[in-house]
């Protein structure tokens, strides 16, 4: 069915200008090496943890070279100034400059401001305002009340709650009785790190699969500060300490930053220093990483960058216009080589992951995961198709195929018994951020289907089985109203901080691709048309009156935002994600149940909103919709650009 956003020449012209500007903006963001690096938001939480780690380092190492000591002290001072300058009006801090105040970040900043530095302007007023916010959120400043508030935010997942309490104990914010403060830090079973890595999933550890460094370091410091009363536990921990520290050293990357993450690396450094391990090599390497990632304005981000992720997002956005993409890829030989070079060819020391996956970053702290691997596979398919349009498949296409099919096998080996795909490790289903999730499972389905026709017979049979199992998982996870809840993206205005627009739009793209394959469409158990129809109706119904989308429909907003002006809630990212998906559905043929929806009006209003908000594709202010581990918010300046281009390129093909 043909759909025109408008028949008016001036509106058609404006759309062309919008697309051309947005595309040009996207292409202009590449670095000198030809790929996209992006830029993560500065983080109050990261800045606070880095300040705490660096101060602990200076205190524990009195013999530092004078220049190094002075440089670190200057960073600590500038970090605190940045924190004071960016305190929210309510007295708390959020994870980003656009985030609502939360208990975790506010407590960590409060801890980092426990200083006698009288040269900091307004520090007394800042601390007093923070304490007022904490009293309201936790009930009091009493250490046990604070510990309860932290545990309440994260439940049984101790990945973030225990490090926060450890950092607060280190800064003295859990009471003047330092020993009493450490008693409020739960004992993590660091001794388990001495066991074979293959056992970890069965052990049901209290932290997620990628938090092993924190498990070791924080478990060790708690043992050193408050040894167990159980003599067997004390002896076991003492005997396994050398082995556990060797494991910690072996999984620290060359950059010094565990997962390239400032908070995780800071927590490990604080714990090791408090445990008397200031001469251990992981400490100096971790501190060097913090020094390397310090920003000129005095802040730190949550991670170094997401270059592989934002690069594949950009490539896949541009690929929706075959003509434009063919011209683009013919000039981008270095980018194609760069994407290929990011695939892991050896077992990864951090997660023990097999070869074949891609990470979010080319840096040494990256780990292969199940969202970046499908992104890279889809990018390789776009390169394959664009080059095949000009010639017969040659050696380069064969290389793309070989690497993508290795990625397909890697994803299949990661698939859980429930049919879904986890982020890093198979079988770690105890905690939310280790479980199968709809957004990543949908991404894997799209990647498998993209290469299905080029897979050899035996692999194709396995891929078919994996796709069918994943489809059943997504069917089971669809909510009654048609929406899906993602894991790695959220919205601070929505109940439970969920982002139904992100989740539903990403899963719908996978179902739309599945609908093109007869062996899936004709499988009555999937109810593909019905599932698509329910989800698409939800997505259309979630559009706000001004044409934008936020993280959910009005019914799922938090009570205090039910009457908020739509212009306050709508984001470029969520509006573009919804538009891209609805355009894809319409282009590929709507199920009969959807054909009465006035898609032209829905899409036109969304495009007009994007055009207005981006000033015709020349400005792309980001919003905090991303989650790092354990619901740590971030925004990435590249997201609104690449999501907008993906939507506009698809709309241009209608």
The answer to whether domain 31-40+305-459 and domain 42-301 are alike in fold is yes
Q: What fold does the segment set 1-9+478-654 form as a domain?
A: Glycosyltransferase (1.50.10)
DSSP per-residue codes, 497-564:
G--HHHHHHHHHHHHHHHTTSHHHHT-GGG-HHHHHHHHHHHHHHT--TTS---SS-GGGB-GGGTTS
User: Which residues are within 8 A (CB) of 602 and not within 5 positions of it... i.e. 6 or more apart?
Assistant: 540, 543, 582
Q: What is the pTM of this model?
A: 0.95
Q: How far apart (Å, rounded) are the C-alpha atoms in residues 246 and 546?
A: 57
- How would CATH label the architecture of 42-301? Alpha/alpha barrel (1.50)
Assess contact for 547 and 614: CB atoms under 8 A: no
Q: Which long-range contacts (CB under 8 A, 24 or more apart) does 23-27 make?
A: 23/318, 23/324, 23/617, 23/645, 23/648, 23/649, 24/617, 25/617, 25/618, 25/620, 25/641, 26/314, 26/317, 26/318, 26/641, 26/642, 26/645, 27/328
Query: What is the residue extent of each domain of the chain?
Result: 1-9+478-654, 31-40+305-459, 42-301
Pairing of strands 300-301, 626-628: unpaired
pLDDT in tens, 138-182: 999 999 999 999 999 988 888 899 999 999 999 999 987 767 799
pLDDT in tens, 292-324: 999 999 999 999 999 999 999 999 999 998 877
Splitting the chain (654 residues) into consecutive groups of 10 residues, what average pLDDT does each group show? 62 92 96 95 98 98 95 98 98 97 98 93 96 98 97 88 97 82 94 78 66 94 95 95 96 97 98 97 98 98 98 96 78 89 94 94 97 98 81 80 98 96 82 88 99 96 98 98 96 95 98 96 94 96 96 91 86 99 91 79 96 98 91 96 98 92
> What pLDDT score was predicted for residue 597?
77
> What pLDDT score was predicted for residue 178?
62
Q: How far apart (Å, rounded) are the C-alpha atoms in residues 72 and 51?
A: 9
Q: Is 40 helix (H, G, I), strand (E, B) or coil?
A: strand
Tokens of 4: 């025109």
Say yes or no: domain 31-40+305-459 is CATH 1.10.8.60: no
> What pLDDT score was predicted for residue 2?
46
């Amino acid at each position: 069915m043909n759909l025109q956003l408008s028949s008016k020449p001036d509106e058609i012209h404006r759309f062309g200008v919008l697309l051309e500007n947005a595309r040009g903006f996207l292409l202009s963001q590449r670095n000198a090496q030809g790929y996209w690096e992006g830029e993560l938001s500065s983080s109050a939480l990261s800045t606070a943890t880095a300040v705490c780690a660096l101060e602990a380092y200076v205190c524990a190492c009195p013999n530092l070279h004078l220049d190094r000591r002075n440089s670190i002290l200057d960073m600590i001072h500038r970090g605190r100034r940045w924190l004071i300058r960016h305190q929210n009006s309510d007295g708390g801090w959020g994870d980003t400059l656009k985030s609502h105040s939360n208990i975790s970040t506010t407590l960590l900043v409060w801890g980092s401001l426990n200083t006698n530095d009288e040269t900091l302007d307004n520090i007394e007023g800042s601390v007093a305002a923070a304490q007022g916010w904490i009293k309201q959120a936790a009930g009091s400043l009493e250490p046990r009340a604070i510990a309860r508030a932290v545990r309440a935010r994260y439940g049984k997942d101790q990945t973030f709650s225990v490090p926060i309490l450890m950092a607060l104990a280190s800064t003295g914010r859990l009471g003047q009785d330092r020993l009493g403060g450490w008693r409020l830090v739960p004992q993590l079973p660091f001794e388990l790190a001495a066991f074979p890595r293959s056992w970890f999933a069965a052990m049901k550890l209290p932290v997620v699969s990628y938090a092993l460094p924190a498990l070791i370091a924080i478990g060790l410091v708690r043992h050193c500060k408050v040894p167990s009363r159980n003599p067997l536990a004390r002896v076991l921990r003492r005997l396994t300490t050398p082995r556990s520290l060797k494991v910690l050293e072996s999984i620290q990357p060359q950059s010094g930053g565990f997962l390239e993450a400032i908070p995780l690396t800071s927590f490990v450094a604080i714990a090791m220093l408090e445990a008397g391990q200031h001469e251990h090599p992981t400490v100096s390497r971790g501190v060097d990483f913090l020094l390397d990632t310090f920003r000129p304005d005095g802040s730190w981000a949550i991670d170094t960058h997401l270059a592989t992720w934002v690069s594949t997002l950009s490539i896949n956005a541009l690929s929706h216009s075959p003509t434009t993409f063919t011209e683009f890829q013919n000039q981008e030989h270095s980018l194609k080589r760069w994407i290929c070079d990011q695939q892991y060819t050896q077992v990864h020391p951090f997660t023990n992951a097999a070869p074949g996956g891609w990470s979010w970053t080319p840096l040494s702290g990256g780990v292969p995961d199940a969202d970046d691997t499908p992104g890279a596979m889809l990018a390789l398919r776009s390169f394959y198709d664009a080059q095949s349009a000009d010639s017969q498949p040659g050696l380069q296409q064969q290389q793309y195929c070989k690497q993508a099919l290795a990625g397909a096998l890697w994803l299949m080996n990661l698939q859980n018994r429930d049919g879904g795909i986890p982020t890093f490790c198979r079988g770690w289903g105890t905690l939310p951020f280790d479980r199968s999730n709809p957004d990543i499972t949908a991404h894997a389905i799209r990647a498998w289907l993209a290469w299905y026709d080029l897979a050899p017979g035996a692999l194709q049979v396995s891929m078919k089985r994996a796709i069918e199992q994943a489809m059943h998982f997504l069917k089971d996870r669809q909510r009654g109203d048609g929406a899906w809840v993602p894991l790695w993206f959220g919205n601070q205005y929505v109940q439970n901080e969920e982002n139904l627009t992100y989740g539903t739009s990403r899963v719908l793209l996978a179902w739309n691709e599945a609908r093109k394959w007869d062996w899936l469409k004709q499988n009555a158990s999937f109810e593909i048309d019905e599932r698509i129809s329910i989800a698409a109706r939800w997505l259309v119904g979630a559009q706000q009156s001004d044409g934008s989308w936020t993280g959910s429909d009005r019914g799922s907003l938090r009570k205090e935002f039910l009457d908020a002006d739509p212009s306050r809630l709508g984001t470029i990212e969520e509006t573009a994600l919804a538009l891209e998906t609805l355009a894809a559905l319409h282009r590929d043929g709507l199920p009969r149940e959807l054909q009465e929806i006035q898609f032209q009006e829905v899409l036109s209003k969304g495009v007009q909103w994007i055009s207005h908000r981006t000033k015709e594709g020349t400005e792309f202010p980001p919003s905090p919709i991303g989650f790092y581990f354990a619901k740590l918010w971030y925004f990435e300046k590249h997201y609104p650009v690449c999501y907008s281009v993906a939507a506009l390129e698809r709309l241009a093909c209608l």
